[in-house]
Amino acid sequence: MLNDSFRYVNDQLACDGVPLCNIIAAHGTPTYVYSANRITQNAQRLQRAFSSLRATLHYSLKANNNLAIIRLLADLGLGMDAVSAGEIYRAEQAGVDPSHIVFAGVGKTRDELQYALQAGVGWFNVESHGELLLLNQLAGDLQKRPSVALRLNPDVQAKTHHHIATGHFGAKFGMSADTIAHILAHRDETPHLTIHGLHVHIGSQLGDVDETIEAVRRAQHLAEPYPDIRTLNIGGGFPVRYVESDEYPQPENFAEALAPVLKGWQVMMEPGRSIVADAGVLLISVLYIKDQAGQHFAITDGSMTELIRPALYEAVHPILPLKNAPPTQKMIIVGPVCESTDVLNRGTMLPVLETGDQLAVMGTGAYGMVMASNYNMRTRPAEILVEGEQWRVVRRRETWDDLLRQELSESTYGKI
Ligand code: LLP
């Protein structure tokens, strides 16, 4: 997963020319490193690809919500897609105008809806009839009139891992066409809402454009009788090539296929992975080498608590040595966590490794740090942003005290 930003320079893996071993010398491992250049290029590529559709991009904060990355993308003109009030708050802290935020999510609480209404969030993607009625009531109480897109579950089977497919009836997301048709026919029941859009998102890491087109057509069919509903949020899901052999449609392929279908529509999108995944690496160090039953294990200081994707989705992330050398043996890369699933790569060709060698887990800018945990009392890693030839810490490594803080505050007994 090498690209313009992550490549070998004088046999040292570098991020935009900065040798990653220099970052390790200053900040240790495990550490996430992101390339501001690559993030910018990826966002601009999407903006270009969808420019003929005049689509508005809302970056999906769940992929990577570091404040520095939010600021970078907001400066490029992207809005944000939030799935909790916490994400809205975070985006606000990064300086994002709430009117540029879409609020999605299948289980928004009353408090979250209230918070978002008061903040002046731009759009609400509503996922159930109950949520719609609650939002209407709260909007009335607060004398607001938010814009609403109804999320359709189009019942199409996206070509992707079953854990990240969302547009079929086995999934909890969205509403059936019948429910949406009913809501649209009774818009007078929700006088405090302006329902003037539909939303579809059929999954992440989509292997094909066809199902997206089908989902869009199903949404358009529902909106046909209502000329004031001509906004369609097509979600995210643009795939990333994690390994060389991956064959996926490019954003341009999606744009080309969607352009004739979406003519005359106001288009919104919520890409996450395609903007940040290949702009990040997780740097780790080898602790021990262990040979067992003919298998070679490298036990590293990186684990499923920094990157859970291999354990959770059997995701494959290439692992490269920071110092370039010919790959000569098949290694299983694991972490120190007390779980058999704590594997970062189930078998990858690497040079002969020894204690202290440094490795990069590639393509970990999306759904890496945001899914990190403190299991086994592990502190979450530092995050570094490389900007041109400079780098800075955009989140410091956690300390043991950070992990104890919430428990050490005074507690009082509740009353019966
Ligand atoms: N919009 C909605 C409504 C979503 O549910 C998602 C992702 C996105 C946009 C952004 O999708 P993207 O462009 O990033 O594919 N943790 C999993 C991915 C979960 C995606 C959840 N929803 C993983 O590591 O693969």
pLDDT digit string (tens) for 56-110?
Answer: 999 999 999 999 999 999 999 999 999 999 999 999 999 999 999 999 999 999 9
Measured distance CA(388)–CA(18) in Å, rounded: 9
Q: Which has the higher per-residue pLDDT, 175 or 415?
A: 175
Average pLDDT of every residue of the chain: 96
Q: What is the mean pLDDT of residues 370-399?
A: 98
DSSP state of 334: E
State yes or no: pLDDT of 144 exceeds 80.
yes
Is the C-beta atom of 272 inside 6 A of ligand 1?
A: yes
For the segment 280-297, the average pLDDT, to the nearest whole number, is 97
Distance 237 CA to ligand 1 centre (A): 6
Least confident of 188-192, 238-242, 320-324, 411-415: 411-415
Cβ-Cβ contacts under 8 Å for 405 (sequence gap 6 or more): none
Mutation pick for ligand 1 pocket among 58, 81, 204 (CB with most ligand atoms within 8 Å): 204
> What does the pLDDT read at residue 297?
98
CA 212 to ligand 1 centroid distance, Å = 14
Closest protein CA for atom 9 of ligand 1: 236
User: What's the fold here for domain 6-35+277-398?
Assistant: Lyase, Ornithine Decarboxylase; Chain A, domain 1 (2.40.37)
Which of 293, 338, 408, 416 does the annotation list as catalytic?
A: 338
Picking from 175, 139, 169, 143, the residue whose alpha carbon sits closest to that of residue 157 is: 169
The span from the CA of 56 to the CA of 53, in Å, is 9
Start and end residues for every CATH 3.20.20.10 domain found in the chain? 36-272
The more confident residue out of 292 and 167 is 292
Number of the ligand 1 atom closest to the C-alpha atom of 235 = 1
Q: Which atom of ligand 1 is nearest to the CA of 206?
A: 15
- Check if 201 has its Cβ closer than 6 Å to any atom of ligand 1: yes
pTM: 0.97
Residue 240 has pLDDT above 90, yes or no: yes
Ligand 1 pocket residue status of 174, Cβ below 6 Å: no
Q: What is the per-residue pLDDT for 307?
A: 98
Band the pLDDT of 246: cuts 50, 70, 90: confident
CA of 272 to the centre of ligand 1 (A): 7
Whether the pLDDT of residue 164 is over 80: the answer is no
CATH of 36-272, one of 3.40.50.620, 3.20.20.10, 3.90.1170.20, 3.40.630.40: 3.20.20.10
Provide the pLDDT confidence category of residue 414 given band limits of 50, 70 and 90: confident
pLDDT in tens, 130-140: 999 999 999 99
User: Token pair 């890496």 is at which residue?
Assistant: 368
Share of the chain above pLDDT 70, in %: 100
Ligand 1 nearest atom to the CA of residue 238, by list position: 13
Please state the rounded mean pLDDT for residues 321-337: 98
**pLDDT at position 387, please?**
98
Mean pLDDT on 376-403:
97
Three-state DSSP string of 127-166: CCHHHHHHHHHHHHHCCCCCEEEEEECCCCCCCCCHHHEC
Residues of the chain with CATH 2.40.37.10: 6-35+277-398
Q: Is the pLDDT of residue 410 over 80?
A: no
**DSSP codes joined into one string, 347-412:** EEEE----TT-EEEEES-SSSSGGG---GGGPPPPEEEEEETTEEEEEEPPP-HHHHHHHHHS---
Q: In sequence order, which ranges of 151-209 are alpha helices (DSSP H)? A: 177-185
Environment class of 411 (CB within 10 Å of its CB; exposed 0-12, middle 13-18, buried 19+): exposed
Q: Is the CB of 63 under 6 A from ligand 1?
A: yes
Alpha-carbon distance of 404 to 226, in angstroms, equals 55
CB 190 near ligand 1, within 6 Å = no
Mean pLDDT along residues 30-51: 98
Site to probe by mutation for ligand 1, drawn from 60, 199, 314 as the one with most ligand atoms within 8 Å of Cβ, is: 60
Q: Is 271 in the pocket of ligand 1 (CB under 6 A)?
A: yes
Q: 15 catalytic, yes or no?
A: no
